[in-house]
Amino acid sequence: MKILVAEDEPISRRALEATLQRWGYEVVLAGDGVVAWDVLNRPDAPPLAILDWMMPGMDGIEVVRRLRQLARRQPTYVILLTCRSGREDVVSGLEAGADDYVIKPFDQKELQARVRAGARIVELQAAVTARLSELEYALANVRRLQGLLPICSYCKKIRDDQNYWQQVEGYISEHSEAEFSHSVCPDCFREHVQPELDKIKTAPPATRQP
């Protein structure tokens, strides 16, 4: 998984990069909030971002606020990196739209646990998004019968939008995914088929079909 690390302090930035790479993640670096915002607006933007709260150009809180204003089906998961440990600061970060936070200097085990939790959520969101796309595609391709259908009272043909009369099975096949296999209902068997069978049985041998 690709992770953006936005941190203006070079040593901390490199330390985070090395740590995340050791855990198997692909890392994209940004030295300030403006660059971070640019990276997160790309089509191939990392789905998870670790943003320092205090950065030149644009701080982490502003980057988060802008991210949350984007109409994205799969939003970026944001971990806010900050030296502010006060309850009000933490609440402010979460209310701005951050998903989680880590206090600097960070503990590697804690950071790893929070990154793993974020990665699981990102993967779950991706699976849900993919499934939703499949359902939307399926719905867009389903043809449904609806409204009033003009049908002949005698032959039971249906009149289509071009004023042509079609057999019921032909019309339904064109306007839905239904397929037909023909059979005979008991009533029609008694009314139509059985009399024909009886005629064949009672007919003189010379008149029977070979």
Q: What pLDDT is recorded for position 180?
A: 66
pTM as predicted: 0.63
Residue 50 has pLDDT above 90, yes or no: yes
What tens digit of pLDDT does each residue of 57-89 get?
Answer: 899 999 999 999 887 778 899 999 888 767 787
Q: What pLDDT is recorded for position 94?
A: 85
Pair (49, 130) in one structural domain = yes
101: which 2 tokens?
Answer: 């936070």
Number of domains in the chain: 2
Residue type, 127: A
Pair (46, 78) in one structural domain = yes
What tens digit of pLDDT does each residue of 140-170 get?
Answer: 655 555 666 677 777 777 777 777 788 877 7
Name which of 13-27, 112-126, 137-151 the model is least confident about.
Answer: 137-151
The alpha carbon of residue 188 and the mean position of all alpha carbons in its chain are separated, in whole angstroms, by 48
Residue 80 β-bridge partners = 51, 101
User: Are 167 and 157 a contacting pair, CB within 8 Å?
Assistant: yes
Is 147 domain-assigned? Answer: no
Q: Check which CATH number belongs to the domain holding 117 and give it.
A: 3.40.50.2300
Q: For residues 101 and 80, what is the distance between their CA atoms, to the nearest angstrom?
A: 4
User: Are 81 and 98 a contacting pair, CB within 8 Å?
Assistant: no
Neighbours of 158 (CB within 10 A): 18
Q: Residue 39 belongs to what domain range?
A: 2-140
Is 33 domain-assigned? Answer: yes
Pairing between strand 100-103 and 158-159? Answer: unpaired
Name which of 7-16, 80-89, 147-156, 182-191 the model is least confident about.
Answer: 147-156
**In percent, how much of the chain has pLDDT > 90?**
40
User: Are 81 and 90 a contacting pair, CB within 8 Å?
Assistant: no
